[in-house]
């Protein structure tokens, strides 16, 4: 019974070779990266949502787009909705002042605003999706790395048992059971990564859908107003439901 009492993770680490230790280091790095992404993306998501609510409250309560533009000039945009608003207003101003001077400015003012807004949405989409590929890769590969470590450990355990000539159940079950630690570690790394990936994808989809809906309202305000720079001529900012009912 005394040899069995020494079995466990410490004994497995002491007995494993360079391949097994390398696999353990890889899974440890994967776990660190996963939890780093989970913590950072969660904090960023909470901060971004709070800023979005604050900006949308100011936006829908503003008397005009000119007031929103003035506010954004004083406060640098720090979340997707204010970024979209600021770039759309700048695009409208630029096209009104300079017209079509270059190929990327070709088309009507509405087309120019649409391209500017689309660029912002694409940039924000890419920013939201940063790190998700890493989470997906870890979630899909960690179990197989753990399984490979288990197979490698079982192979060496059986070789050692065969060389010692002791093939009884107690001599086989201990080393094989230790090798299963690698599979358990692989699952322990993969499960948080998969859950975090699914949560992040759903959260990003909701925010981007709201951003796309807001972009339609903002586009309508910009294209129906006369001049963004003229406070008296800028169409008053109203919620989408009010604007549509008024149309």
* 37, 134 Cβ separation under 8 angstroms: yes
Going residue by residue through the chain, which has 247 residues, state the pLDDT in tens, using 9 for 90 and above.
344 445 556 666 666 677 778 888 899 999 999 999 999 999 999 999 999 999 999 888 888 888 888 888 888 888 899 999 988 888 887 666 655 555 444 556 677 788 888 999 999 999 999 889 999 999 999 999 999 988 887 887 777 777 766 656 666 666 677 778 888 899 999 999 999 999 999 999 999 999 999 998 888 888 775 444 443 333 444 444 434 434 3
CA dist 4 and 170 (Å) reads: 8
Tokens of 21: 């230790």
Query: DSSP string spanning 141-178?
Result: HHHHHHHHHHHHHHHHHHHHHHHHT---HHHHHHHHHH
Residue with tokens 């996963």: 34
Per the structure block, which two tokens stand in for 218? 């903002």
Which among 124, 47, 50, 27 has a CA at the least distance from the CA of 85? Answer: 124
- 3-class DSSP state of 247: coil
């Amino acid at each position: 019974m005394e040899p069995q009492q020494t079995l466990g993770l410490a004994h497995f680490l002491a007995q494993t070779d360079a391949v097994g230790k390398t696999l353990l280091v890889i899974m440890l790095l994967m776990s660190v990266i996963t939890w780093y992404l989970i913590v950072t993306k969660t904090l960023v998501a909470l901060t971004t949502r709070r800023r979005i609510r604050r900006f949308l409250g100011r936006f829908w309560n503003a008397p005009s787009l000119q007031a929103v533009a003035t506010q954004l000039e004083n406060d640098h945009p720090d979340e997707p909705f204010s970024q979209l608003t600021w770039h759309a207003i700048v695009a409208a101003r630029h096209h009104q002042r300079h017209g079509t001077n270059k190929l990327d400015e070709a088309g009507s003012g509405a087309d120019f605003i649409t391209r500017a807004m689309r660029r912002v949405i694409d940039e924000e989409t890419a920013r939201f999706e940063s790190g998700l590929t890493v989470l997906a890769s870890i979630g899909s590969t960690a179990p197989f790395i753990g399984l490979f470590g288990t197979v490698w450990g079982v192979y060496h355990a059986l070789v050692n048992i065969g060389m010692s000539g002791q093939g009884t159940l107690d001599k086989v079950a201990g080393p094989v059971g230790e090798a299963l630690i690698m599979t358990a570690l692989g699952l322990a790394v993969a499960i948080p990564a998969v859950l975090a990936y699914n949560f992040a994808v759903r959260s990003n989809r909701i925010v981007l859908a709201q951003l796309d809906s807001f972009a339609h309202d903002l586009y309508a305000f910009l294209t129906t107003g006369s001049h963004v720079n003229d406070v008296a001529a800028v169409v008053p900012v109203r919620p989408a439901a009010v604007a549509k009912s008024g149309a």
